[in-house]
Amino acid sequence: MAEEPHSRPRRSAPQDSTSPADPADRPVALITGASSGIGLATAVRLAGAGWHTLLSGTDRARLDELADRTGGRALPEDLSKPDGAARLAEAALAEAGRVDALIASAGLGWRGPYARTPSDTLDRMIEVNLAAPLRLVRLLLPGMLERRHGRIVLLGSMAGQVGVREESGYAATKGGLTMFAESLWYELRGTGVGVRLVLPGAVDTPFFDRRGTPYQRERPRPVTAERVAETVVATITTERDRLYVPQWLGFPARVHGAAPGVFRRMAARFG
């Protein structure tokens, strides 16, 4: 997914906190899942680089605290509701008039035998991990196309690249998001709107606490949310459009794509 040079946004992100103070002169980022983890770390980095941040999540108190810290605006919304994405897009455009970058980092997981997956948990994973990003892009993309600049950053997962035992539902939602990013990239070539896909392995965030099962594998070792946020920001301000965190995870993903049988034997042996 190598993007052509002429698709770079006309409005480039300020690189330090000395950027203009007027919000109208700053690029605008809408960040989902901003109340914790990767979303929170990304919001802090973007605010430090001069972006005006619109912060969405379900924890209003944490969003307000982050807004005070970064000078952003809290837009609490529950993306597990079918109309949540529409309400959030409407609120974001009402607040800032435009969105220059969408960072879809909200995500839910569950671990256990698929046959025992609670129906409501499965429904919420589908809504938050897959349906909400698709809906948000559909609502915000027309404005980006009209302005001929923008970034769509989707937080995928290695689970969506290679599959993970007892995480079938979660892997399916992230796999769908990967194919959405890949397909949309072809469609948007030359428009000035870039599609970015960030593919972390395990990340040390409250995600594992919320899914009800702690991270138990020896490898890969969890990386910090700040490390993933650094990669997210890099996808906005550079032409790199598909990044693994850590980078070495790109190797097993390539093995899986080229020789899935070999990968399965390796996975069975090494976990």
- Active-site residues, by number, are 170
How far is the first Cα of the chain from the last one, in angstroms, to the nearest whole number? Answer: 29
Reduce the DSSP state of residue 166 to 3 states and report it.
coil
48 within 8 A of 121, measured Cβ to Cβ? no
Reduce the DSSP state of residue 54 to 3 states and report it.
strand
- CA–CA distance, 185 with 196 (Å, rounded to integer): 8
Radius of gyration from C-alpha coordinates of the chain: 18
- CA–CA distance, 182 with 262 (Å, rounded to integer): 25
Range list of H helices, the chain: 37-48, 60-70, 84-96, 119-125, 132-147, 159-162, 168-188, 207-211, 225-237, 250-258, 260-270
Collect all residues with Cβ–Cβ distance below 8 Å to 121 and sequence separation of at least 6.
108, 110, 169
Residue type (1 letter), 128: V
The tokens of 196 are what?
């970015």
